[in-house]
Homo-oligomer: A and B are copies of this chain.
Amino acid sequence: MQSKTIEKILQDVRDGSVDVANALEKLKHLPFEDLGCATVDHHRTLRQGFPEVIFGQGKSIPQMRTIIQALLDKGGNVLATRVNRAKGAKLMESFPQAVYHADARALTIEQHPVERRGRGKVLVVCAGTSDIPVAAEAVLTAELMGNEVEKVYDVGVAGLHRLLARRGTLSEAAVIIVVAGMEGALPSVVGGLVDKPVIAVPTSVGYGASFGGVAALLGMLNSCAAGVTVVNIDNGFGAAYAASLMNRVHG
């Protein structure tokens, strides 16, 4: 395709039928996409050892099937998030090698073992039992992205001693993901206890003036603890992806 065009210019230069100045001019006006700069992208996922990811919510089962098959053909591991139990069951009929993770509402297919890429540990901390689906999505994602993952669940700020009892675990992590709904105060407390990057994930858990996670989101954005950054409501996947990148810094 476009390589042909450039090849032709180069051949003309070699053959002397076009001089260097003219060739330079022609090259400058080629649409840059022809230079293959997009290919960086094509290889990025595999190079990183990251799985291919599908956001399952709002996609039909046939759509899911088509995309999963395409990704499998590329040879990598596959992670489909936001897959409810019924959709998961249907997909496992088509892909018997798939594993459905009920707690994380996700489906994975591992075509090759996950390579350990992140040097340290990613810790996932979670405030209440209702926040677990989001936390589990983060755990699963981080594992598939090549991190050692540890979890500390059910340590809400109204019962501080449970969190304080896990200070050792907190201090050993390289990056900490904190998942919390309701008032979203847990990341502030954790952020005050450690000197590690803390990624806060608000959840839509709550009712009334929680406004589907907005109260938790605002709480986290206004955290009085420095070092806390925030992702979208219920975005366990995004937190784990960011944590994976952080865990590779100088890794």
B contact residues around A192 at 8 Å (CB): 156-160
Report the minimal beta-carbon distance from A159 to chain B, rounded to whole angstroms: 5
Residue contact A14 to B24, C-beta cutoff 8 Å? no
B contact residues around A107 at 8 Å (CB): none
A 190-205 contacts with B by CB, 8 A: 191-193, 195-197, 199, 202, 204-205
Residue contact A182 to B249, C-beta cutoff 8 Å? no
Contact of A20 among B11, B175, B183 (CB under 8 A): B11
Contact of A227 with B241 at beta-carbon distance under 8 Å, contacts A183-B220, A222-B232 already known: yes
Residue contact B215 to A227, C-beta cutoff 8 Å? no
B contact residues around A74 at 8 Å (CB): none
Q: Flag whether A223 is at the interface (Cβ < 8 A).
A: yes
Residue contact B38 to A157, C-beta cutoff 8 Å? no
A 21-61 contacts with B by CB, 8 A: 23-24, 27-33, 35-41, 44, 48, 53, 57-59
Residue contact B238 to A226, C-beta cutoff 8 Å? yes
Contact of A207 with B232 at beta-carbon distance under 8 Å, contacts A36-B28, A245-B227 already known: yes
Contact of A195 with B48 at beta-carbon distance under 8 Å, contacts A31-B168, A164-B33, A209-B214 already known: yes
* CB-based nearest B residue for A192: B158
B contact residues around A218 at 8 Å (CB): 183, 209-211, 214-215, 218-219
CA distance A237 to B3 in the complex (A): 38
Residue contact B38 to A24, C-beta cutoff 8 Å? no
B contact residues around A23 at 8 Å (CB): 10
Q: Flag whether A104 is at the interface (Cβ < 8 A).
A: no
CA distance A130 to B59 in the complex (A): 8
CA distance A197 to B58 in the complex (A): 28
Contact of A209 with B217 at beta-carbon distance under 8 Å, contacts A23-B10, A249-B175 already known: yes
Chain A to chain B contacts (Cβ below 8 Å), 11 pairs: A29-B36, A31-B37, A37-B161, A38-B162, A58-B205, A158-B224, A160-B192, A174-B249, A204-B208, A208-B232, A221-B233
